[in-house]
Amino acid sequence: MFQTLVGSVDLSVLALEPPGWGLALLKGLRNSIIIAMGAYTSGLLIGMFGACGKLYGGRVVSDLLECYTTLVRAIPELVLILLLYYAGTDGLNRILASFGRPPMDINGLAAGIAVLGIVLGAYLTEIIRGAIKAVPIGEIEAGRAFGMGPLQLFLRIIFPAMLPHALPGLGNYWLSATRDTALLAVVGFTELTLSTRAAAAGTRHYMTFYLVAGLIYLLVSIISSVGIKLLEVRYRRGMARPV
């Protein structure tokens, strides 16, 4: 059993030149990383504004944001991706049509980034909201007493003070963002998982390709974890160690 398991792993199919599928996998990896980074950045922006809206916005704004975070977190990512993917492209084309423009083919990369960003934004809103609430109110009041405006207060006091509280959660969601890129395989976007599937089906070396792809994802997550640790150490300096 074990012998065939090892025997079924044939590394020559991973060559970078055309008969091998190495380049296809690397392209898939590049797409996955671009999507993860793009989605995470847009998610962070949404999360930052969402958290501020929830905490400091009016009643209507915070209620609407509550609906957004609750709904997005209650429905599977896969379903949201399908809904936003079709609704987004369809809606955009209808707007274009109403201006008398021909429908455009929406870039899969951009759509993937937007969809995952909206999903991540809901989770990051909650993380950042919790972190801002953990900032001692006196620090914020002191900033206000010095005459800081809302933007200055956010950039100079709230943001740096909430960062150590938010980093563990933010790190977890970066890891889950890299994993969630795989979901775009279901809507037919060739990121790492789908290119792996194509390679496996093309060569019938299923085990080799899925194991290699698993290793690549694992490497990404290990490297990310080390980076997150370093960031946490840097931004927790001067704080008491957690018990």
Partner 1 sequence: MTEFSTTPEILVLKNSRPSWLMPHRIILALIFLLLVGVAAVYLRWDWIPQYRDQLLAGIGRTVALLVTTSAVGLIFAIALGLAQVTGPRSLGLLARGFCGIIRGTPLLLQLWLLYYGVGSLLAQYPEIRSSTLWPLLRQAWPYGFLALTMSFAAYEGEVMRGAFAGVPRGELEAAKAYGMGRWKVFRRIWLPRAFHRALPTLAGDFVAQMKSTPLVATITVVDVYGVISKVRQATYLTYEPLFLLAVVYAVLTGIIVAGFKFLEGRVPVKT
Q: How many CB atoms lie within 10 A of CB 114?
A: 18
DSSP code for 106: P
The verdict on 27 binding partner 1 (CB under 8 A) reads no
Question: For residue 15, is it left (φ>0), alpha (ψ between -120 and 50) or beta?
Answer: beta
The verdict on 229 binding partner 1 (CB under 8 A) reads no
Q: Do residues 8 and 205 make contact, with C-beta atoms less than 8 angstroms apart?
A: yes
The verdict on 154 binding partner 1 (CB under 8 A) reads yes
Residue 34 C-alpha from the chain's centroid: 10
Among 34, 37, 77, 88, binds partner 1 (CB under 8 A): 77
Among 29, 46, 52, 127, binds partner 1 (CB under 8 A): 52
The verdict on 64 binding partner 1 (CB under 8 A) reads yes
Distance of alpha carbon 178 from alpha carbon 212, whole angstroms = 16
Kindly calculate the radius of gyration of the chain based on its CA atoms and give it in whole angstroms: 22
Assigned token pair, 172: 């977890």
The verdict on 146 binding partner 1 (CB under 8 A) reads no
The residue behind tokens 């944001």 is 65
The verdict on 155 binding partner 1 (CB under 8 A) reads no
Nearest residue (CB) to partner 1, 4 versus 98? 4
In the complex, the residues that contact partner 1 under the rule CB under 8 A are 4-5, 8, 49, 52-53, 55-57, 59-60, 62-64, 67, 71, 73-80, 82-83, 86-87, 90, 140, 144, 150-151, 153-154, 175, 179-183, 185-186, 193, 196-197, 200-201, 204, 206-207, 210-211, 213-214, 217-218, 221-222
